[in-house]
Amino acid sequence: MTRFLTTKNVTLLVLILLVALSPLLFPSGFYYRVGALIFVNAIAVTGIVILTGYAGQISLGHAGFAGIGAYACALAPVHFGLHPALAIFLGAGISAVLAYLVGRPILRLQGYYLGVATLGFGILVSMVLNNERDLTRGPDGIEVPELGLRAVLKSIGVDLTNGEFWYFFCGICLVFGAWLALNLFNSPSGRALRALHGSEVAARTVGVDVAAMKLKAFVISAVYASVSGSLLALQNKFITPDVAGFMHSIEMVTMAVLGGVGSVLGAIFGAAILTLLPQVLTVFAEYEQLVLGLVMMLVMIFLREGLLPSILRKFKGRGE
Amino acid sequence: MPELLQFLFSGVTVGAVYALVALGFTLIYNASDVVNFAQGEFVMLGGMITWAAYAAGVPLPLAALLAIVGTAAFGVAINKFAIEPARGAPVVSLIIITIGASIFIQGGAQLIFDKQIHTFPAFSGDAPLRIGGATILPQSLWVIGGAVVVFISLWLFFTRTLLGRAVLATSNNRMAAQLVGINTNFVMALSFALSAAIGALAGVLATPITLTAYSVGIGFALKGFAGAMLGGMGDPKGALVGGFLIGLIEALTAGYLSSQYKDAAAFIVILLVLFFMPQGLFGAKKTDRV
Amino acid sequence: MRHTLTVTMLAAFTAFVPAAEALAQVKIGASISATGPAAYLGDPEAKTLRMLVEELNASGGVNGEQIELVFYDDSGDPNKARTFATRLIEDDEVSAIIGGTTTGTSMSILAVAEDSEVPFISLAGAIDIIQPVKTYTFKTPHTDRMACEKIFEDMRKRGYKKIGMISGTDGFGASMQAQCKSVIANYGIEIVADETYDPKDSDMTAQLTKIKGAGDVQAVLNPGFGQGPSIVTRNYKQLAIGLPFYQSHGVASDGFISLAGKDAAEGVRLPGTALLVADLLSDEDPQKAAVIAYKTAFEEKTKEPVGTFGGYANDAFLILMDSIRRAGSSEPAAIRDAIEATSGLAGTTGIYTFSATDHLGLDLSAFRMLEIKGGKWSLVE
C-alpha cells in the first residue's frame, strides 16, 4: 500500500478528486468558470515549476509563450483553415521551436541577467502581437473560433453547459500535464535538472549536460505556457495581447512561488489562491493591489518555500 | 541635422530619468545583492507626493523636499520590513518580494492619492530653448543636470568620504565590514534611503515633462532596470551610461526606424549585449567560488 | 495557529457567498475598469453609477422597487471582465449589465451576455461592439469612426487636404487610427505622415519632428487617451509646429486642458459632447436639462470636474432605467426589447434612438466640434 502512496500518486489522486468532486459544492454555474480558470493558470504554472522549481532558472517573460499559444488558436483557423484543436498543437510547436532558438543563447545567463533577458523576450512578443494590427487586430483583441468539442460530445449524448465543459476539459488537461511533470521529476532527466539546480558545476562534474538540460526545461515549460494560453483563448472565444504581457508573466511566477515552486501541487495551490483573490475581494476591490502586494511580500519573507509546504508542515505537527 | 539634434535632445531627456532610476537600482544592488523592482515606485512617489503637497498649498520647493525625504523614509522602511528579513533567499523570492512591494505601493497610492493624472509647474517655465534648430525644454535641462549632479555626488561620496567607503566595503564583503567595525545595518538603511531619494528626485524633476499618476512606476522600473543591466549591474557609471543609452536608442529608433517598435529596439540591444557581453558594458566578469 | 487558518479560510469563503436578498429589488450589474490602465475612464464611470443608484433609490427607485447595483472592478483585464460577467449572470442573477470600460472588456462581457441573453450596455468606443449588431448589446459612447468623421468634416471645411497622424498604440488609439484611415478618403484628405507612441511614453518629440518634417502637412490629428495626448500637445507646442491640431474625444475633459497647459492647448479642436459646454448650451437645446442635471450632481458629489466618460455611464443608466420603466418588468428579455424601442432620449452624450439595426442610437449631430480658447471649451461656429 505504501508503495502506492508516492508523492506522484498522491498528487494525482488529490488532483483528480479535486477536479471530479468540487462541482458537488458549486452553488451556481459561475464556479465552473472560476475552476476552469484556476486549471488553465495551473497548467502554465506547472511549466514554471519545471523551469524554476526543478531546474532553478528564472523566466520573467513566459507569458510570451502563452500569447503564442493563444494567438495560434485565433489565427490558424482563419488563415490556414486549421481546426482549433490542431491549432493548440501548432501553438505548442511554435512555442517549442521559439523556446529552443531563444533559449540557447539566453540560458547561458544567470540570475537577474537571465531575468532581464527573458523579460525582454516576453515584451518583444507582446509588442509584436500588439502592433501587427493587420494580423492580430491589435490591442483591442481578436475573436477566437469555437473549439467544437462540446458539440461533438452533445452528439454522443453528453450534454454539458459551456461552463461545465471547459471546467472538465481544462481539469483533464491539468491532470495530464501534472502527470507528465511528476514523471519528469523522477526520471533521469528530472534528476539531472534537480542536480543542476543545486549546483551547475557539480552537475557538470558528474556528467550532466547542463546546457542541454536547461534548454529542455525551458522548452517543456514553454509548451505548458502555450497550451495554457490556447485553452484560455478557446474558452473566452476572445483574446487580447495582454495575455503575453509582463504582468501576466509576473502573475505566473508569483502563483508558482507563492504556492510552493518545488512541487506541482504547491504551484496549483498558488494558482488557485491568486485566481480566487479578485473574486473574494470584490467588495474591497480598491484594496486588491494592496492586499496582493502584501501577500506576496509576507509569504516570500516568512514562508519561503511557499504556502503549501508550510501549511502541510503545520498540519503534520512538525515545527518550522 | 536639426532633426537629429531634436532626436538627441529627446533621447537625453528620457535617458536622464532612466539613468537616475538605474543609479538607484545599482546602489541597492551593491549594498544588498538585491534588484529592487520597487525602484520605479520611488519615482512615482516623488512625483505624486510633490503634486499632493503642492495642490494642498505647499510651495513647490518645499513640496519637492517633502517628497524626497518622505520617499527616502519609505526606502528605509522597505529595507527593514521586506529586504532584511529575506536575507539569503533565492533570487526568485527576492524578485517576488520587491515586485510585491511595488504592487503594494501602487495599491496604497491609489487609495491615498487618486487614480487621475497630475502634474505641477516646471521649475523655470515652459518656454523652450532653441539650439541649432531644435528645441529643448528648460525642465529637460533640470533632469539632465540632476542626473549628472547625482552621479558626481555619488562618486565623491564613495571615493572621498569615510561613510561612502564604508558603504563600498559593506557591499564588497559584509562580514569583513562588520569585523572592522562598520555598522552594516546603518549602511544598508543609508543605501536604501539614498536610492529612494534619488528615485524621488527623478520623479520630482521629470513630472513637469512626463506627468505622474499612481501607475507610472512600473514603466520607469523596467527601463531603468534594463539600463542598469546594459551598463553592467553594480557599476554606477554603467548605470548612468546604460540609462542614457536606452533613452537615446529609443529616440533614434523612433526618429529613423519605426515609432511602433522603439521600445523593442531598446530590449533587442539589451539582449544582444547580454549575449555577447553577459556582464554588461562596464560590469566585471563574475567569478563564483564553487 | 491551526484555528487561525481555519477561521481565515471560513471568512474567505463567506466573502464569496452573496449577501442575503433584501426586499423586492431590481438587480443590475456592472463590470467597470475602476483600477488598472483605464482607471482614468473607469473611475468616473464607477462614481457616476453609484451616485445615480443612490439618487434614484432615495426618490423611490424604479417601478416601485429599489435598485441593487452589483459592482465589480475588472481592472481593464478582459479575462477578469468575462469572469465577472459570468458571475453577474449566473451567481448574482442580474437583469442587465452596464460596463465594459474598454473595448477588450466589452467584447468579453458581450460574449457572455449574448450567450445568456441578458441585455448589456457598453461604455466603450469601438465600432465593433455594435457592428455587426448583436441582439443584446448596446452602447452609449460615439464610435471612434464617428469621431473621425466629425473631425474630417471640420478639416474639409477648413480646406485641409494632407494631414499627419500620431496615435497611441493602446486599444483606443489604435482602433481610432484604423477607423480614420478607413474613412479618410471619403473626405478627400490624405495621410502623409503616420506615427505612433506607447501610451506610457513621456516624450513624443521624435515622432512629431518626423511629422513636422513631412513637408506638406496641413494639420495634425492625435487619436489617443490618458496622459499620452497631454504630452503630445505639450511637445507640439514645444516644437512650435504651428499647424492646426486635433485631438480625439478620448481627452474630452477639463483634466486634459490642465495637464497639457492652457498655452499648449490653445486652439486645439476636438469632437466633444454637450457635457463640456453645458453653460454655453442654449435653453432650447434638448440636451441641456440632462447635461446640467448630471454635471451639477457629479461635481457636487465628487468635487471633481465632469468628463465625458462619466457621461457615458450616466446615459447608460438613464437608458436602462427608462427601459425598465417602459417594460414594467425586470425580465432581461423585456428590458432588451424596451431598450431597442428607446426613442429621442436625451442624455449627456446625445439623443438616443435605437432600432433593430442601430444599437448605438446616435448620429454625428450628437458630437459638437469644440475648440479650447483661453483654457476653456468653446463651440466652433
Cell matching residue C2: 491551526
Q: Which residues contact B92 (CB under 8 A, 6 or more apart)?
A: A52, A58, A253, A257, A261
Q: What φ, ψ does residue C150 adopt, rounded to 5°?
A: -60, -45
Chain A residues close to B269, C-beta within 8 Å: none
Across the interface, of A28, A140, A288, the residue whose CB is closest to C175 is A140
pLDDT band for position C19 (cuts 50, 70, 90): very low
Q: What is the pLDDT of residue C96?
A: 95
H/E element, B228 = helix B217-231
The contact set of B with C (CB < 8 A) is: 3, 6-7, 9-11, 13-14, 17, 110, 114-119, 126, 128, 135, 137, 206, 209-211, 213, 215-216, 219, 251-252, 254-255, 259-260, 262-263
Cell matching residue C279: 453653460
pLDDT of C8 > 70? The answer is no
Chain B residues close to A134, C-beta within 8 Å: none
pLDDT band for position B272 (cuts 50, 70, 90): confident
C-alpha closest to that of C31 among C73, C94, C69: C73
Q: What is the pLDDT of residue C36?
A: 84
C-alpha closest to that of A127 among C40, B268, C126, C315: B268
Chain C residues close to A242, C-beta within 8 Å: 77-78, 104
pLDDT of C3 > 70? The answer is no
Give the domain range for residue A45: 7-316
Q: What is the pLDDT of residue C17?
A: 47
Instruction: Please report how the helices B184-210 and C227-238 are oriented relative to each other, as an axis angle in degrees rounded to 10.
Output: 70
Answer whether residue A93 is part of any domain.
Answer: yes
Share of chain A above pLDDT 90, in %: 43
pLDDT of C323 > 90? The answer is yes
**Cβ-contact A105, B259 below 8 angstroms:** no
Domains of chain C: 23-142+292-366 (3.40.50.2300), 144-272 (3.40.50.2300)
Q: Which residues contact B267 (CB under 8 A, 6 or more apart)?
A: A119, A120, A123, A124, B226
Mean pLDDT of A273-294: 87
Q: Do B111 and A287 touch (CB under 8 A)?
A: yes
CATH of the domain at A39: 1.10.3470
The pLDDT tens digits for B28-54 are 888 888 889 999 999 999 999 999 999
CA of C326 vs chain A CAs: smallest distance (Å): 31
- Neighbour-count burial for C93-109, b at 16+ CB within 10 Å, e otherwise: ebbbbbbbbbbbbbbbb
Instruction: Please report how the helices B236-252 and B217-231 are oriented relative to each other, as an axis angle in degrees rounded to 10.
Output: 110
Answer whether residue A185 is part of any domain.
Answer: yes
In total, how many domains does chain A have? 1
Distance CA C10, CA C19 (A): 15
The C-alpha angle with vertex A147 and arms to A142 and A150, in degrees rounded to 5, equals 140
Please report the number of interchain residue pairs, chain A to chain B, with beta-carbon separation below 8 angstroms: 129
Chain A residues close to B221, C-beta within 8 Å: none
Mean pLDDT of chain B: 88
Answer whether residue A58 is part of any domain.
Answer: yes
Beta pairing, strands C96-99 & C120-122: parallel
Distance CA C43, CA C310 (A): 8
Q: What is the pLDDT of residue C21?
A: 43
Give the mutation candidate from B3, B4, B6, B261 for the C interface (greatest C CB count, under 10 A).
Answer: B6
H/E element, B271 = helix B262-276
pLDDT of A6 > 50? The answer is yes
Which residue's C-alpha cell is 488558436?
A: A73
Does A314 contact chain C (CB < 8 Å)? yes
Q: What is the pLDDT of residue B288?
A: 52
Chain A residues close to B92, C-beta within 8 Å: 52, 58, 253, 257, 261
Domain spanning B2-276: which CATH class is it, in words?
mainly alpha
Residue type, C108: S
Q: What is the pLDDT of residue C1?
A: 44
pLDDT band for position B206 (cuts 50, 70, 90): very high
Q: What is the pLDDT of residue C5?
A: 53
pLDDT of A316 > 80? The answer is no
Q: What is the pLDDT of residue A209?
A: 84
DSSP string spanning B136-160?
A: E-HHHHHHHHHHHHHHHHHHHHHHH
Q: Do A280 and C16 touch (CB under 8 A)?
A: yes
H/E element, C190 = strand C190-197
Chain B residues close to C264, C-beta within 8 Å: 126
A-contacting chains (≥3 CB pairs under 8 Å): B, C
Cell matching residue A20: 471530479
The pLDDT tens digits for C275-303 are 888 888 888 888 999 999 999 999 999 98
The pLDDT tens digits for C125-178 are 888 899 899 999 999 999 999 999 999 999 999 999 999 999 998 888 999 999
Distance CA C248, CA C233 (A): 12
Q: What φ, ψ does residue B57 adopt, rounded to 5°?
A: 110, -5
Answer whether residue A2 is part of any domain.
Answer: no
The CA distances from residue B262 to B249, B256, B258, B268, in Å, are: 8, 10, 6, 10
Does A200 contact chain C (CB < 8 Å)? no
Instruction: Please report how the helices C332-340 and C308-327 are oriented relative to each other, as an axis angle in degrees rounded to 10.
Output: 110
Answer whether residue A228 is part of any domain.
Answer: yes
Q: What is the largest CA-CA distance in chain C?
A: 77
Mean pLDDT of B215-242: 88
Establish how many alpha carbons lie within 13 A of residue B126's alpha carbon, considering only the half-sphere containing its beta carbon.
Answer: 20
Residue with more model confidence, A269 or C6: A269
CA of B274 vs chain A CAs: smallest distance (Å): 7
Q: What is the pLDDT of residue C255?
A: 86
Measured in residues, chain C has a length of 381
Q: Do C206 and B219 touch (CB under 8 A)?
A: no
Q: Do A297 and B290 touch (CB under 8 A)?
A: no
The pLDDT tens digits for A117-161 are 899 899 999 999 998 888 888 888 898 998 888 888 888 888 888
What ipTM does this complex have? 0.89
B-contacting chains (≥3 CB pairs under 8 Å): A, C
Which residue's C-alpha cell is 527576492?
A: B94
Q: Do C174 and A163 touch (CB under 8 A)?
A: no
- Neighbour-count burial for B151-165, b at 16+ CB within 10 Å, e otherwise: beebeeebeeeeebe
The pLDDT tens digits for A50-59 are 999 888 888 9
Report helix, strand or coil for A158.
coil
Which residue's C-alpha cell is 535641462?
A: B141
Chain C residues close to A286, C-beta within 8 Å: 34-35, 73
C-alpha closest to that of B218 among B76, B25, B37, B22: B37
The C-alpha angle with vertex B266 and arms to B261 and B267, in degrees rounded to 5, equals 95
Mean pLDDT of C9-32: 64
Share of chain C above pLDDT 70, in %: 94
pLDDT of C319 > 90? The answer is yes
DSSP string spanning B155-212?
A: HHHHHH-HHHHHHHHHHH-HHHHHHTT--HHHHHHHHHHHHHHHHHHHHHHHHHHH-B
Across the interface, of A52, A257, A289, the residue whose CB is closest to B110 is A289
Q: What φ, ψ does residue B66 adopt, rounded to 5°?
A: -55, -45
The pLDDT tens digits for C200-230 are 888 899 899 999 988 799 999 999 988 899 9
Chain B residues close to C34, C-beta within 8 Å: 115
Mean pLDDT of chain A: 89
Q: What is the pLDDT of residue B287?
A: 54
Chain B residues close to C227, C-beta within 8 Å: 117, 211, 213
Give the mutation candidate from B106, B120, B211 for the C interface (greatest C CB count, under 10 A).
Answer: B211
The C-alpha angle with vertex C7 and arms to C3 and C13, in degrees rounded to 5, equals 150
CA of A287 vs chain B CAs: smallest distance (Å): 7
Answer whether residue A1 is part of any domain.
Answer: no
Across the interface, of A37, A240, A314, the residue whose CB is closest to C104 is A240
Q: Do B85 and A301 touch (CB under 8 A)?
A: yes
Chain B residues close to C255, C-beta within 8 Å: 116-117
Residue type, C224: G
Cell matching residue C59: 426618490
Q: Which residues contact A194 (CB under 8 A, 6 or more apart)?
A: A54, A55, A185
Answer whether residue A307 is part of any domain.
Answer: yes
The pLDDT tens digits for C326-343 are 998 889 999 999 999 999
Residue of A nearest to C196 (CA): A131
Beta pairing, strands C66-73 & C137-139: unpaired
Mean pLDDT of chain C: 89
Q: What is the pLDDT of residue A320?
A: 45
Q: What is the pLDDT of residue C23?
A: 52
